[in-house]
Structure 1
C-alpha cells in the first residue's frame, strides 16, 4: 500500500512515466508506428503518412513488472500526421530529405487502483527534422536522421493525461533493412530511436534518455500483399533527475510482439498498412495492446 500511495503521488504531481503520451516508454516517440518498412527512405518527392493509432491499457506495472492492484485501464487514440520531403539532393552518398510530425491525440485514463481519473485531447508536441538520410543497395537500405520534439502540446503537472510532455527532446534515428533475395520478397529490418530529454516544465524533472528499437521480418507475396512478424522494445536508459525523495524513480520498459499486413498500389501512389501489437513485459508504466493503421500517399 505504501508503494501505491507513492505512485499515486508521482502521477498526480507529474511523474514523467505516466504523463502525456502514455504509450511511449518515457519519451515522445511511440514504438510500433513504423513496422517493417521503417528503415526504407522513399525516392525523391513529397509524401504524407497518416497513422491512426489506438493504445488500450489493461494494467499498470511497477518497477519489477508486476501489475498494481485495482482496476487500472484507459485508452489513447491519435491521428499522427507525418510529412516527408525527399529533395532529390544527396549528402554523404545518401538521399537527403526533411520531415515534420504533427500528432492529434485523445487520452482517457482510469487508474482507479491509484486514485487517478483524467482525460485530455488536442494537438500534441510537434517534431521537426532538418536531416533525413537514406542509403540504398541491391539488397539493403539504411536510414539516419536527427530532429527535435518541441514542447508545443498543453501540459499540466497535476494532469496525468496531458497531451504534451512538458519538455523538448532531441531524437536521433538509425536503422536498416536486409533483403534476403534479389526480388526483395523477404526482409529483415530494425529501426532505432534515441531521445535526449530536456527539463520538464513545472516539475524541474529531467527524464532519463530513452531508446526504442522496432524490428520485423516480412514476406511479400506474388499478389503484392506483405505479411510480417513485428515487435518493439523500449528502455529508459537512466533514472529521472530531480525527482523528490520518496517518489518512485524506476526506469520504464516496454516489450511487444505482433503481426503486420500491407499493400501498395504503385499507379495510385497509395499504400495501406495495419499492425497489432501485444505488450508482454512492461515496467514502471502502463501495459496494453496497440493497433495501428497507416495510409501513405506519394505526390
Structure 2
C-alpha cells in the first residue's frame, strides 16, 4: 500500500490537473442522452445543462481504488447556443454552436496528504462551426466538428483546476433509429472523437480518445419519454511526455426521463448515471474518478 500511495503522490505532483467529469479530454460524459443525435429544426436555441458529478473514489491505472478516502465533486452549469440555418449541405441541415461552461470542482485526496483542492469559474470554451443533421422517415443522423479552446485558468499543482491547459479538437458522429412510424420507440448512439494539443505548462499531450453516449427510449401516450442511457469511453493512445503508458476507461449505466411543451418551444430532461468501472491513464495523474452523475437539461427555442 505504501508503494501504491507513493506512485499516486508522485504522479499527482508531476503531471496535470484532473478533469474529473471527462475521460482524458474536455467532453463531460453523461451530458447528453435520449434523442441527442437528432438536430432541431431551423432556428436559434438555448440549451442549459445543470450537471453534478459525485465522486465515490479515485482509481489507479489497474482499476483498483487508491488507498485512503479520496472523494470529490464536480458541479457545472453549461450554456450552449445552437443556431440551425436554412442552408442545405450535402442534403443535411447546417448549423453551428457554442458552449460556455461554469464549473465548481472540489477534491479531498488522502493520496495527496489529506489535502482539499478546489477551484471554480468559467471553463474552457467550445466553438463548433459545423453541425450537419440528416433526417429520414424513421431515422436521424448527425455530424459535427469543433474546438475546445484553452481559455480558462490552469494550475498544474491544483488537481481541481477548471482549465485543462490544452486545446481539444472534437469530431461528433451519431445516429438514431425509430422502430415505428409514430416514433414511440428509438435507439441512439452519439460518438465523440477527441484529439488534444500539448499542455504547455507540463509538456504532456493527452492521447486520443473515443466516447460513446447511447440510449434506448420510449415515448408514452402522454408525451413523457423514458429510457435507459449509458456511456462508454476509451483512451486510444498513450499520453506523450509522461512515463505512464496505461490508457483510461470509464463506463456507466443510467436512466432518463423527459417531457416537451411544443407550444412553448421548451423541453426538459433529467438523468442519473452510475459508473460501474473506471481505470486511469497518464493525464489523470495516475488516478481516475468513479462516481455518480445527476444531469438536468433544459432546451428553449429562442
> What's the TM-score, normalizing by structure 2?
0.95
Q: Structure 1 CA distance, aligned partners of 2:213 and 2:234?
A: 12
Could you tell me which residue of structure 1 aligns to residue 297 of structure 2?
294
Contact 1:107 1:121 in 2 (8 A): yes
How much does 1:6 deviate?
2.0
How much does 1:201 deviate?
2.2
How much does 1:20 deviate?
4.8
Q: How does 1:126-145 map to 2 (within 5 A)?
A: 126-145=125-144
Aligned: 1:106 with 2:112:
no
Could you tell me which residue of structure 2 aligns to residue 220 of structure 1?
219
Could you tell me which residue of structure 1 aligns to residue 168 of structure 2?
169
Post-superposition CA distance 1:215-256 (Å, at most 9, x none): 01000000000000000001111111001x4xx442111100
Gapped regions of structure 1 (runs ≥ 5): none
Could you tell me which residue of structure 2 aligns to residue 264 of structure 1?
260
Could you tell me which residue of structure 2 aligns to residue 240 of structure 1?
239
Say which SS state the counterpart of residue 278 (structure 1) adopts: strand
Say which SS state the counterpart of residue 282 (structure 1) adopts: strand
How much does 1:61 deviate?
0.8
Could you tell me which residue of structure 1 aligns to residue 84 of structure 2?
86
Could you tell me which residue of structure 2 aligns to residue 24 of structure 1?
22
Q: Structure 2 CA distance, aligned partners of 1:121 and 1:88?
A: 38
Could you tell me which residue of structure 2 aligns to residue 150 of structure 1?
149
Q: Structure 2 CA distance, aligned partners of 1:264 and 1:61?
A: 39
Say which SS state the counterpart of residue 264 (structure 2) adopts: coil
Post-superposition CA distance 1:171-201 (Å, at most 9, x none): 0000000000000000100000000000002
Q: 2:275 aligns with which of 268, 279, 285?
A: 279
Q: Structure 2 CA distance, aligned partners of 1:258 and 1:129?
A: 28
Name whichever of 2-11 and 148-157 sits farther off.
2-11
How much does 1:113 deviate?
3.3
Could you tell me which residue of structure 1 aligns to residue 190 of structure 2?
191
Q: Structure 1 CA distance, aligned partners of 2:104 and 2:98?
A: 20
Post-superposition CA distance 1:62-98 (Å, at most 9, x none): 1221111100000100001000000111100000000
Q: Structure 1 CA distance, aligned partners of 2:214 and 2:182?
A: 21
Contact 2:213 2:230 in 1 (8 A): yes
C-alpha RMSD of matched pairs (Å): 1.0
Q: Structure 1 CA distance, aligned partners of 2:277 and 2:14?
A: 26
Say which SS state the counterpart of residue 279 (structure 2) adopts: coil
Contact 1:83 1:101 in 2 (8 A): yes
Q: Structure 1 CA distance, aligned partners of 2:126 and 2:11?
A: 27
Say which SS state the counterpart of residue 35 (structure 1) adopts: coil
Gapped regions of structure 2 (runs ≥ 5): 281-287
Could you tell me which residue of structure 2 aligns to residue 125 of structure 1?
124
Post-superposition CA distance 1:31-81 (Å, at most 9, x none): 111101110100000000000000000111112211111000001000010
Post-superposition CA distance 1:117-164 (Å, at most 9, x none): 200000000000110000000000000010000000110111111100
Contact 2:168 2:197 in 1 (8 A): yes
Could you tell me which residue of structure 2 aligns to residue 50 of structure 1?
48
Check 1:113–1:11 CA distance in 2 against 1; reply closer, same or farther (3 A cut): closer
Contact 2:139 2:176 in 1 (8 A): yes
Say which SS state the counterpart of residue 239 (structure 2) adopts: coil
How much does 1:22 deviate?
1.1
> What's the TM-score, normalizing by structure 1?
0.96
For these two proteins, the number of residue pairs brought into alignment is 293
